[in-house]
Structure 1
Amino acid sequence: MIIKEMKNILWDFDGVILDSMEVRDFGFKEIFKNFNEEQISLLIKYHRDNGGLSRYVKIRYFFETILNKDTTEKEINEYALKFSEIMRKELTNSQNLIMDSLNFIKQNHSNYNFHIVSGSDQEELRFLCHELNLSSYFISIHGSPIPKITLVKKLIKEHGYLSKETCLMGDSINDYEAAHSNGISFYAYNNKKLKEKGFNYIEEFKVFSFNT
């Protein structure tokens, strides 16, 4: 697969650079362990179907949709903090890195403008990138609670990037929506369901190239 004119690549993090889904499953199960298994299973399904959404959205969904219960920002933030504490402990293991995409990033970070735009908590995301020695490969690293659609919009505007020269690499339908709503290209990775939907799909980065 060859892309012409591409200069700016926005990377999702979970599922694209770091294989974190099972660890994040564990995190949600742990913070909601006092609720029944059926309710937690519904949350895990929502989490997996919407990998690009932030934990704040997923926690609110758990209370307001699954439990049909009102919640507050304070309560959501308290659960999000507990979740983040688990992630900081569990996700600093370099064995969770996806070497196919990471090797591409290492080999090309000086040739293109790389940024991370993720549904993960921004402070936690920057901590993980620092601990995993990833920070130097990216011009900037952005995460929730700001929605990804807004993050992409702000990033493109602040750096003056042209839409035709910018794309987003992601593994969820939410990543596609963030790209599409901002008028940039989307390339799916590490999620066969997206391939079945007909999106541009990267099987392996080692056979993926830019026409320079």
Structure 2
Amino acid sequence: MSCPLNCRPNLIFDFDGVLAETNRIRIDGFKELFGGEYPVEAVEQLLQYACMNGGLSRYLKIRYFFEQILNTAIEDARVTELATAYSHIVKDQVIAAPAVRGAGEFLAAWQGRSDCAIISGSDECELQEVCRARGIAGYFVAVMGSPRTKHENIALLLDQMGWRATECLFIGDSKNDKDAADMAGMPFVPRKSGIEHWDDYDGTVLTDLTELEGYLKWYRRSRT
């Protein structure tokens, strides 16, 4: 699909690892949540799973820990209780975490040039509080997260905003981000945050968001 030279895609960002350097905080939060009460080996398995599935919600990771690692059933209410406890552990650290280099400058410079949204695996209510506390909520037409999946949130966002998937660009840092974008038929560009190496990715990989505006100039030219 082509677009005129002044066409700018609607930008959809993951939060963790794309706008803020929070991936390590998120992973270590599970160690604090479960450490001491459960076998060390089981907690280490969860941390490895969290590293490999950075874009999945805490609800799915908690359920995976019990059902797949501990081989124990867990009720939805208990998952919610543990997810709330996890939020208490990580939220203040996430608010205080450094921004990805160039993120704040890009959002400030880009405001009004095209619409931006956040779709994240983080808890939606927590993430909205985090964005307000970090002073960035006003840059986004929507901040969406779990317990809905990223694919569900993409579909909901497109419907609410009247956007086409091909008129958007998803900037993420995990395989889960790319899978969600691919399922929606949405263009995707990765940021190398450390949870995925992207060595075999056939396309541009951003080091940080100082490179995003230059990438968008190339992206617009490539679609005319």
Give the TM-score, by structure 1 length. Answer: 0.92
User: Residue 10 of structure 2 corresponds to which residue in structure 1?
Assistant: 8
* Stretch deviating more after TM superposition (82-91 or 68-77): 82-91
Contact 1:115–1:138 (CA under 8 A) maintained in structure 2 = yes
What is the aligned partner in structure 1 of residue 211 from structure 2?
207
- Does 104-113 or 142-151 show the bigger shift? 104-113
Is it true that 1:54 corresponds to 2:57 in the alignment? yes
* Deviation at residue 161 of structure 1 after TM alignment: 1.0
How big is the alpha-carbon RMSD for the aligned residues of Structure 1 and Structure 2? 1.8
Residue 113 of structure 1: CA displacement?
0.6
Contact 1:172 1:194 in 2 (8 A): no
* Counterparts of 1:207 and 1:76, CA distance in 2: 39
Aligned with residue 115 of structure 1, among 99, 117, 142:
117
Q: List per-residue Cα deviations over 1:101-155 (Å, max 9, x = no partner).
A: 3321221122111000000000100010011101011111001000110000111
Contact 1:195/1:201 (CA < 8 Å) preserved in 2?
no
Q: Is the 8 A contact 1:118 1:148 kept in 2?
A: yes
Q: Percent identity of the aligned residues?
A: 30
Shift of 1:178: 0.7
In structure 1, list runs of 5 or more residues that go unmatched: none
Which residue of structure 1 aligns with residue 202 of structure 2?
198
Farther off after superposition, 84-93 or 119-128 = 84-93
Q: Distance in 1 between matches of 2:208 and 2:81?
A: 39
Correspondent of 1:21 among 16, 23, 27: 23
Structure 2 residue aligned with 1:188: 190
Q: What CA distance in whole angstroms lies between the structure 1 residues aligned with 2:199 and 2:187?
A: 15
Which residue type is aligned with residue 62 of structure 2?
I
Counterpart residue number, 2:149? 147
Structure 1 residues 109, 147: closer, same or farther in 2, change over 3 A? same
* Contact 2:100 2:209 (8 Å CA) reproduced: no
Higher strand share: 1
What corresponds to 1:92 in structure 2? 95
Residue 25 of structure 1: how far off its partner (Å): 2.1
